[in-house]
Chain A
Amino acid sequence: DAGVIQSPRHEVTEMGQEVTLRCKPISGHDYLFWYRQTMMRGLELLIYFNNNVPIDDSGMPEDRFSAKMPNASFSTLKIQPSEPRDSAVYFCASSLGGGLSTDTQYFGPGTRLTVL
């Protein structure tokens, strides 16, 4: 398996522009997670899905952020309009879930977003 795939790996945009980050989870995984990492706040969970349904979006910073999972193999995180404080590395992760003690999350390589 190729693991979790994220695109683009790097994104540079100007303030006010729309940004879309993409994620393909590991095939067969039922859970998908979006994280954001900054020097100031560390690694924080934004939202996660179970079987394509958003379960907890309490970490989404504000209405400018939205996430969708139209099918089991694809998810997007959109920021509209983007602001310089959104600059961060965004990670996507997936897991089998199910509450098993052996459940682990597998992370993608991340998208480094810079908003000028």
Chain B
Amino acid sequence: DAKTTQPTSMDCAEGRAANLPCNHSTISGNEYVYWYRQIHSQGPQYIIHGLKNNETNEMASLIITEDRKSSTLILPHATLRDTAVYYCIVRPNFGNEKLTFGTGTRLTIIP
């Protein structure tokens, strides 16, 4: 799987948009970008995934650059409950069910 690079930590004011970057410069054409988050003392939770088009769901938006070497997860209106560690993961669509978690970004939402 391609490796990812994320900032160790970030702060965001409550109510503002939280933008979490991820670099995956060695991503292959058949690899998707997945985002999971882990709230303290809980299991990881799926947020969103994408291949090359921007994606949006009820939790977040995912913006993938045209060259697919980086992406940004956007939480449009951050709340205190969004405080968590956010993991950016790339993995192939077929033939590999594994998720390889890096160190992630610790996002703290400030009141």
Contacts and interface: CB of A to CB of B under 8 A. Distances in A.
Interface of A: 4, 31, 33, 42-45, 48, 50, 55-56, 91, 93, 95, 97, 99-101, 103-110
A44 B98 contact: no
Nearest to A56: B98
Contacts of B94: 99
A99 B38 CA distance: 24
18 contacts: A42-B102, A42-B103, A43-B87, A44-B101, A45-B99, A48-B98, A50-B97, A91-B44, A99-B97, A101-B32, A104-B46, A104-B49, A105-B46, A105-B99, A106-B46, A107-B43, A107-B44, A109-B43
Interface of B: 32, 34, 38, 41-46, 49, 51, 87, 93-95, 97-103
Q: Which of B34, B100, B101 has the most CB atoms of chain A within a 10 A radius of its CB?
A: B101
A110 B98 CA distance: 18
Nearest to A107: B43
Contact of B93 (A44, A48, A99, A107): A99
Contact of A101 (B42, B44, B51, B98): B51
A104 B87 CA distance: 14
A33 B44 CA distance: 13
A76 to B, nearest CB: 18
A4 B100 CA distance: 20
Nearest to A100: B93
